[in-house]
Copies of this chain bind each other. A is one copy, B any other.
Amino acid sequence: MSGRAGELSPGGFAERLLAGDRLALARGITQVERRLPEGRALIQELIGSTGSSQTLGITGPPGAGKSTLVTALTTHLRAEERQVAVLSIDPSSQFTGGALLGDRVRMTTHYLDEGVFIRSMASRGISGGLAPAALDAVLLMDAAGFDPVFIETVGVGQSEIEIASHADTIILVLVPGAGDSIQMIKAGIMEIPDIIVVNKADHPLALEFVSTLRRSLPILKRIEKPRIVQTEATTGRGIPELATAIADHRLHLEETGLLQTRRERSLRRRVLALAADLITAELAEQADNDPEIQAVIGEVIARRVEPMQAAERIVDRAPLRSAT
């Protein structure tokens, strides 16, 4: 059957995506973003072709220079003829969608380069949470042959870290002298990354900041301490060293078997989170139609029953499905 002009035939779609077709990839991502059945079918068809790309989670406070750093790294990787994909995600975005965010991360340097694929994603218009859509998009970028795949998150809240923590290699970008960078050290964000980039290394406080960081390494609970790399993303200084650190980490993951362990843990977490989301959605729907659940919530609103007790009553009395 011939489709409408410009429409992709369902059969050839996955193949075109596998071959690195950018249009197919872009459409595929839109499908998973909208949680369309086509998106799921696509992921099912392509999942066997995923797993060869290194995924790089990039996180850090706003203004740390994450986008500039990703641009500089991309330039470096393009010189080695790597195909680079960037997924830029903003969990806090409520209404602008990718439109305005896109301006910020357009990475004009690489906009016309066929070897670079850039996509922004924001909470709005994404049903079922940002993480499932983002992680599916990463699978598609991986299947399309892009390697590495950057997952750049804006900000460092819990949900941002949650998404970045699914990457093979997690990179935290900090800047010297920024109050929130110091707070971040305090706040334990350093338990997460494999590599810490101190960007804007030309800053007068850079040396002091790096030594503060180094001093804080021994108090980390984790066994493998993060590597610290200094960069100046705007001039490209330190970018080759960062690229080496990233490649080294990939090797380390492979040699130790950690790559497989991490990915298994990530997939397991994803599946259970999705299952929990399904059950939660079912519960919310039930709550709208079930007078008993309404009554229990009413008791809380009347401030006669505390919320946790009400939750237990709901879970106890409402078998989510019958065992028959």
Contacts and interface: CB of A to CB of B under 8 A. Distances in A.
Interface of A: 40, 43-44, 47-48, 50-51, 61-63, 90-96, 100-101, 104, 122-124, 132, 135-136, 154-161, 178-180, 183-184, 186-189, 191-192, 220-221, 263-264, 267-268, 270-272, 274-280, 282-284, 287, 296-297, 300-301, 303-312, 314-316, 319-324
20 contacts: A93-B186, A93-B187, A94-B189, A94-B191, A94-B192, A95-B188, A154-B183, A154-B187, A157-B158, A268-B300, A270-B300, A271-B310, A272-B284, A274-B307, A275-B310, A275-B312, A275-B315, A276-B276, A276-B280, A278-B312
B180 A63 contact: yes
Determine the main DSSP class of A at the interface with B.
helix
A307 B158 contact: no
A136 to B, nearest CB: 8
A307 B180 contact: no
Given A63-B179, A320-B320, 17 more contacts: A47-B300, A47-B303, A47-B305, A61-B62, A93-B186, A96-B188, A101-B186, A104-B183, A124-B188, A135-B307, A155-B157, A156-B157, A157-B160, A158-B158, A275-B314, A278-B315, A282-B315
